[in-house]
């Protein structure tokens, strides 16, 4: 399904979304997404600027890792060359049980590894999952993460470390509070805003 996005949106062709769960809630290996310009929906000029439609392409974990190590566009091009993995229209078959590297083992070595060697990676951001535990309470059982100790002492963050984490999270939240859509510019000329190219 095409996803409409505006020029200032954070999604671009070649971006990836790490989902870590089957996209159709089945047992599928297709658990992540790559984004590409939709091959059928052409960009549309609107009074607010150009709208480009992106297509979501489902990928396996190994394909996502290759996109992260190299680039999303390169993996999308490889998917186009393997008919059962999407073909020229990049159709996601949730029943696909093999990665493109299992279907054609030469793709990893000849295309991805060579691409990483010559192009490097275009990954510009990293996401992580973080969790904190209240170490002032005793652990409930041996599986409780608070039971992890260094020597005989439980791990504890210093006040300085705690404050540094708090400040970093606060700054990150401030940076990401930018609106998804740009503000509407009341100054228009022939239906186009002055600050955007036609």
| Structure confidence at residue 105 (pLDDT) | 94
Residues 74 and 12 in one domain: yes
Domain assignment of residue 183, yes or no: no
Indicate whether 104 and 151 sit together in one domain.
no
Which string of b and e fits 95-128 if b means at least 16 CB within 10 Å?
Answer: ebeebbbeebeebbeebbeebeeeeeeeeeeeee
Kindly state whether residue 68 falls inside one of the protein's structural domains. Answer: yes
The answer to whether residue 107 is domain-embedded is: yes
The answer to whether position 196 is within a domain reads no
Residues 75, 164: one domain?
Answer: no
Please give the chain's pLDDT, 198 residues, in tens.
555 554 454 688 999 999 999 999 999 999 999 999 999 999 999 998 888 999 999 999 999 999 999 999 999 999 999 999 999 999 999 999 999 999 999 999 899 999 999 988 887 666 666 666 666 666 666 555 544 554 555 556 677 877 887 777 777 666 555 554 555 555 544 444 444 444
* Residues 55, 115 share a domain: yes
Domain coverage including residue 51: 2-119
pLDDT of residue 125: 63
Assess if residue 168 is contained within a domain.
Answer: yes
Structure tokens at 102: 């299992």
Q: What is the number of structural domains in the chain?
A: 2
Domain shared by 109 and 165, yes or no: no
Domain identity same for 111 and 157: no
Whether residues 36 and 109 share a domain: the answer is yes
147 and 81 within one domain: no
Task: Flag whether 198 is in a domain.
Answer: no
Cβ atoms within 10 Å of 78's Cβ, excluding its own = 23
Residues 6+ apart with CB under 8 A from 158: none
């Amino acid at each position: 399904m095409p996803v409409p996005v505006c020029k200032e949106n954070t999604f671009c062709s070649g971006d990836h979304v790490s989902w870590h769960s089957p996209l159709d809630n089945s047992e599928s290996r297709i658990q992540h997404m790559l984004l590409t310009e939709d091959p059928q929906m052409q960009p549309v000029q609107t009074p607010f600027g150009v709208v480009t439609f992106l297509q979501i392409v489902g990928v396996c974990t190994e394909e996502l890792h290759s996109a992260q190590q190299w680039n999303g566009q390169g993996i999308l091009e490889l998917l186009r060359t393997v008919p059962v993995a999407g073909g020229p229209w990049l159709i996601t078959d949730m029943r696909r049980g093999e990665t493109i590297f299992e279907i054609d083992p030469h793709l990893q070595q000849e295309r991805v590894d060579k691409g990483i060697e010559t192009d490097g990676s275009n990954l510009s951001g990293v996401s992580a999952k973080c969790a904190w535990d209240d170490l002032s309470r005793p652990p409930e059982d041996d599986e409780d993460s608070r039971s992890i100790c260094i020597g005989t002492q439980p791990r504890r963050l210093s006040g300085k470390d705690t404050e540094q984490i708090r400040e970093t999270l606060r700054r990150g939240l401030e940076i990401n509070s930018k609106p998804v859509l740009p503000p509407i510019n009341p100054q228009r000329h022939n239906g186009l805003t002055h600050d955007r190219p036609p």
